[in-house]
Amino acid sequence: MGDHYIVGVAGVIASLSGLVFLYYNSLVRFRGLRKLQRPASMEFPKEKCVNKTENYEAGETIDVIIVGAGVVGAALAYSLGKDERRVRVIERDLNAPERMAGEGLMPGGYLKLIELGLEDCVDEIEAERMLGFVLQKDGKEAPIIFPLQKFESHVAGRTFRNGFFVQKFRNKAASLHNVSLEQGTVTSLIEENGTVKGVHYKDKSGRLLSAYAPLTVVCDGSFSNLRRSLCYPKVDIPSYYVGLVLTNCRLPNENYPTFILEEPGPILFYRISSTEIRCLVDVPSQNVPSVSNGEMAHYLRTQVAPKVPPELYTAFIAATEKKGNIRTAPIRIMAAAPRPTPGAFMIGDAFNMRHAITAGGMTVALSDVVLLRDLLRPLHDLSDASAVCEYLESFYTLRKPMSSTINILANVLQKVFRGPSDPAMKAMQQTCFGYLRLGGVFAHGLSAMLSGLCPHPLSLAFHFISLAIYGVGRLLLPFPTPKRLWNAAKFLWVVLNSIEVPKRSSVNKNGNHEAAGTTDIIVVGVDVAGAALAYALGKVHVAGRTSSAHCLDGIDVQPALGPVVYKDGKDATFTFPVRKFEPHVVAKCFHNGRFVQRLREKAAALHNVCLEQGTVTSLIEENGTVKGVHYKDQSGRLLTAHAPFTVVCDGCFSNLRRSLCNRKYEHYGELILAEPAPILFYPLSSTETRCLVDIPSRHVPLVSDGEMAHYLKTLVAPKVLPELRTSFLSAIEKENIRVMANRIMAAAPCPTSGAFLIGDADLLRPLYDLSNASAVCEYLESFYNLRKPMSSTINTLANVLQLVFSAPSDPVTENIQQACFEYLRLGRGVFADGVADTFSGLCPCPFILAFHFFAMVIYGVCRLLFPLPSPKRMWNAAKLLWVSIFC
């Protein structure tokens, strides 16, 4: 009853939270559908497209070239052929593939087969019905039954041999008179002025041929050699599947594949024919035993076999001893990051992959085929490549309900059930397993998403929130204790780290470069941001991205491995978590001037970057669009410079800020470059150390009349570490004191066509033509969202720490300061390392920052309430909470 009560409360909270997701999702879908409806009336100029391959006679036309004839390519060829498109499919090998992947089709995928008219492809290949899963963990079972009651009896999942399934698809496509299948290897795309016109390929005899069509669809699988031309690939291989075929045995529950959730990774059994059962064992990438020397067979017999169900044990051992029966395959994960290119399109595993643990890949792929067919159906002529490309961008929005639901679910489950065997991860695993065993709306809701029958991100969000609340409730019952609260906090941390939401797909806009001699971009200000941006943008038009790490060489850089914080005679050391990086990846301290000069030299070394000394006085504006700048050169002459795009990064004293943002900054204090209060010491070079002292703005002593020196000697020097005190006093005597305003200003952009307050080389890299100022301005508005994870994390952390440690010394503030300090002193692990992650910029995640603020407040409250709560302690805790919320 307690479990159901917890989840009932979770349902109410998650439902309220879901209203936000529902509203957002409805907006996204509405925008996507508007794009879908628009082209029904599009009329493209009709031109005859001539195919210039040796296999077709001159004058014979092809509408679509499809690269790859796997499930996606063959299904797309058949569906386009049924719509009377002339389709040519080029596949590297038309023999039946021997693959372990793609052997499971969820009910949602089967419904897509029905939409495509391909449901008979599961007939006569010994496909076995799949009605759900059975999860086994620690001797317990959790059945997951697909909610198929509302469908006809033939609607169910299927398992089969992938090769038989693919050949059925190919035969269906080849049966159409207007679809041609040819064996050949596509080597590259044919591009003219940024538009794909066709492909170069080698036929079976090795001849290099060409094929032309208005649209080329690339779906050549997970090992695609064309991927880099059409998307931004970032492939992760978290683990490998080790596959075996078992014979002469039965599943513990027929029609229900068995998942065994044990260390070191999940084990899956499912039928691929009436006499064969496939076994897949998940093995982490970092330690995959060798198959050739017998290590893998030994691993399976000693580590995996003891966890196999008794009904399958004998067959499993026999399968490991059968020569050639053990195979391995990498499990690839790749987020969808398209690069829209006129004349070409990419779908399938070449475009997007998720972990195979949920067998959802086929469902997503077939859903994409249905969506692409429906989008192309109104377009009777594909010859206007740019218009078709712009229209098809709606595909990336419309595919999200299915793809994001299945992708997130698959990737989260693999993180949970393949995670390290620490107590927090075990608690997460037990929570997931217990949640599924609740049955009812909880298990059925997840099975509906898993099967592709309810691909709804709102439903996924509901179950994640319910799962988190259920897990916390399990850990806190029957009564919350400090240990249980601590375990609950660690559990929430694991939950946050497990959920990884796909990022918005980036869009690449191709164009033509301006004629030689023109200026593409004016950069105002050549400090760190300006010089680095000038170099990065200059390299865009030279030879792509190269390293500029050697800008730190030769300027006497000192490494910084992390800060040491001192308070009341105690110290708290926390180290930046750079263990996973190469040895040279550490923080650096240096003279700013030397570093800036190296960056300027690096930019000036490019032939297409010009550095000029001058003072920009104003922007040149015409009808609300910035066309360039007015500036004075070294001799004082007033000159003008024109360019389609102007980037302003002239520092904290910018005189152009009012034109491009809503300025609002406050003086919170002065930085005295001699010693802090908070006090900071860091090495500038091998012989120099910088000291910064923070002083409130309202009473800054004067440097000129000696008040500042007296202040430093009397109030600051006693707090300086003994080993630095002598040098500190000597520095005061040398008239070595300087004052600088410490400014805080939130980002409040005022988007202006033709100008930008700071630039992003990755966003500007695809835009070869910047002349359409309004379009560029609208495109670059995504910059303000893309910068938030890094900027909001570091800005919030800096401002909160400043408020805490520069606040007046009343008892409540002292309690907060002490809580922060002691929290950092908890040592290596989730606390100090987590703060160091955000502080160092290695993990700029606002959710992690929120977690640490929350954990720090709880820690501070518990410190005040221990050992026993009293009215006075509860009052102090309440005041601490109030001040924390204010901070």
Residues 6+ positions from 728 with CB-CB distance below 8 Å: 674, 675, 691, 712, 716, 717, 720
Q: How confident is the model at residue 87 (pLDDT cuts 50, 70, 90)?
A: very high
Q: Examine the pLDDT at 806 and tell me if it is beyond 90.
A: no
- The predicted structure's pLDDT at residue 19: 39
Q: Examine the pLDDT at 267 and tell me if it is beyond 70.
A: yes
- Rounded Cα–Cα distance for residues 541 and 545 (Å): 10
Name the segment(s) of the chain with CATH classification 3.50.50.60: 31-126+152-234+333-400, 521-555+590-663+746-782
Distances in whole angstroms, Cα of residue 884 to Cα of each of 621, 669, 791, 814, 856: 46, 21, 21, 12, 10
pLDDT in tens, 198-230: 999 999 888 999 999 999 999 998 888 888 888
- The predicted structure's pLDDT at residue 559: 79
Mean pLDDT across 549-556: 70
Candidates 3.40.50.720, 3.50.50.60, 1.10.287.130, 3.40.80.10; CATH matching 521-555+590-663+746-782: 3.50.50.60
Least confident of 349-358, 381-390, 705-714, 758-767: 758-767
pLDDT in tens, 383-419: 899 999 989 988 988 888 888 888 888 888 877 777 5
Type and span of the H or E element at 162: helix 162-174
pLDDT in tens, 824-883: 777 656 666 667 777 677 777 776 777 777 777 777 778 777 777 777 777 777 776 776
> What's the whole-number average pLDDT of the chain?
77
Q: Examine the pLDDT at 454 and tell me if it is beyond 80.
A: yes
- The predicted structure's pLDDT at residue 498: 60
Q: Examine the pLDDT at 518 and tell me if it is beyond 70.
A: no
Q: Examine the pLDDT at 673 and tell me if it is beyond 50.
A: no
Q: Examine the pLDDT at 89 and tell me if it is beyond 90.
A: yes
| Spatial contact of 873 and 863, defined as CB atoms under 8 Å apart | no
Q: Which of 438-447, 660-669, 699-708, 843-852 has the highest mean pLDDT?
A: 699-708
Please give the span between the terminal C-alpha atoms of the chain, in angstroms, as a whole number.
Answer: 40
Question: Facing residues of 631 across strands?
Answer: 616, 639
Q: Examine the pLDDT at 479 and tell me if it is beyond 50.
A: yes
- The predicted structure's pLDDT at residue 77: 95
Q: What is the DSSP string of 466-528?
A: HHHHHHHHHHH-SS--HHHHHHHHHHHHHHHHH--PPPPPP-----PPPPTT---EEEE--SH
- The predicted structure's pLDDT at residue 729: 87
pLDDT in tens, 582-610: 777 777 777 777 777 877 888 787 878 88
The two tokens of residue 553 are 């060489």
pLDDT in tens, 25-68: 443 333 433 333 333 333 333 333 333 333 333 346 899 999 99
Q: Examine the pLDDT at 315 and tell me if it is beyond 70.
A: yes
Name the segment(s) of the chain with CATH classification 3.30.9.10: 235-332
Amino acid identity of 517? G
Least confident of 79-93, 293-307, 435-449, 719-733: 435-449
Q: How confident is the model at residue 634 (pLDDT cuts 50, 70, 90)?
A: confident
Q: How confident is the model at residue 181 (pLDDT cuts 50, 70, 90)?
A: very high
- The predicted structure's pLDDT at residue 58: 37
Higher pLDDT, 78 or 361: 78
Q: Examine the pLDDT at 71 and tell me if it is beyond 70.
A: yes
- The predicted structure's pLDDT at residue 647: 84
Share of the chain above pLDDT 90, in %: 21
Q: How confident is the model at residue 795 (pLDDT cuts 50, 70, 90)?
A: confident
10 Å Cβ neighbour count for 287?
A: 9
Q: Which of 276-280, 412-416, 485-489, 520-524 has the highest mean pLDDT?
A: 276-280
- Rounded Cα–Cα distance for residues 736 and 81 (Å): 80
- The predicted structure's pLDDT at residue 345: 94
Q: How confident is the model at residue 8 (pLDDT cuts 50, 70, 90)?
A: very low
- Rounded Cα–Cα distance for residues 412 and 357 (Å): 10
- The predicted structure's pLDDT at residue 44: 32
| Spatial contact of 722 and 610, defined as CB atoms under 8 Å apart | no
Kindly provide the b/e burial profile for residues 736-763, where b requires at least 16 CB atoms within 10 angstroms of the residue's own CB. Answer: ebebeebeeeeeeeebbbbbbbbbbbeb
The two tokens of residue 636 are 């004082």
Q: How confident is the model at residue 782 (pLDDT cuts 50, 70, 90)?
A: low
Kindly provide the b/e burial profile for residues 625-645, where b requires at least 16 CB atoms within 10 angstroms of the residue's own CB. Answer: ebbbbebeeeeeeeeebebbb
Superfamily of 31-126+152-234+333-400 according to CATH = FAD/NAD(P)-binding domain (3.50.50.60)
10 Å Cβ neighbour count for 678?
A: 17
- The predicted structure's pLDDT at residue 650: 77
Higher pLDDT, 477 or 188: 188
Q: What is the CATH number of domain 235-332?
A: 3.30.9.10
| Spatial contact of 76 and 142, defined as CB atoms under 8 Å apart | no
Omega within 30 of 0 (cis) for the link into 378: no
Instruction: Tell which residue, 213, 180, 181, has the closest CA to residue 198.
Output: 213
- The predicted structure's pLDDT at residue 56: 39
Q: How confident is the model at residue 668 (pLDDT cuts 50, 70, 90)?
A: very low
pLDDT in tens, 127-149: 999 999 888 888 888 888 898 98
